[in-house]
Amino acid sequence: MNRDLTSYRKSYDKLVLDETTVPSSPFQLFSDWFKEVEAVGGVEEANAMTLTTTDQDGYPKGRIVLLKHYDDQGFVFYTNYTSEKGKAMQYNTKVCLSFFWPNLERQVIIKGTVAKLSEADSTAYFHSRPRGSQLGAWASQQSSIITDRNVLENALADLEKQYPEGTTIPKPSFWGGYCVTPLTFEFWQGRPNRLHDRIRYQSMQTDNWDIERLSP
């Protein structure tokens, strides 16, 4: 296997990011950008983000998860507590979230700490999910080794019998939500000649944020 990709080229020239005109709150800028990405279209899941964790082996691992809520307190997603990422977050609460929105040539990188949501909040969201997704949370012991896909299909079939239409599916005790509280935001806007705009917000002791431009 040998493929040369050095000829891949793209010019970034759609928009500008200026530290003198950005809002004082990174949450406001994130919300503005998210809405703009949705409005322009072309990104099927604007809420898809890379969650990077570090396990006890010291290796970072990133995977795509879906952002389900954001506000001035943080960024919320849901998963299996006993999964690989769940165990990693229990070991090390320092995580990173990354968004890539190619339709507007933008990235956002958020570093912060993660904590579980309350059981009540996790339960409320669980029951808002499609029925198939609720059953799927029970059927999959996420990150565990299985012999083949039939293990999942058989587990789902058994659960469909256990919880027929019209019955309430309880939330698994091993499944729920997390909230990432940001410590830094980096907003990246593609620009020509690889001289991209990079603006970083760093949390201060108060509610204020220090705003800096980074060299690309």
Q: Which residues are catalytic?
A: 194
Give the up-direction half-sphere exposure of residue 34: CA atoms within 13 A in the CB hemisphere: 19
Non-local CB neighbours of 197 within 8 Å, separated by 6+ positions? 16, 17, 18, 187, 188, 189, 191, 213, 216
Q: Give me the helices (H) in the chain, please.
A: 26-40, 84-91, 119-126, 131-139, 150-162
d(CA 79, CA 55): 16
Radius of gyration of the chain (CA): 20
SS3 88: helix
d(CA 30, CA 15): 15
Non-local CB neighbours of 48 within 8 Å, separated by 6+ positions? 64, 65, 66, 67, 99
Q: Which residues pair with 68 in a beta bridge?
A: none
Furthest-apart CA pair in the chain: how many Å?
A: 60
Taken as a whole, the chain contains a residue count of 216
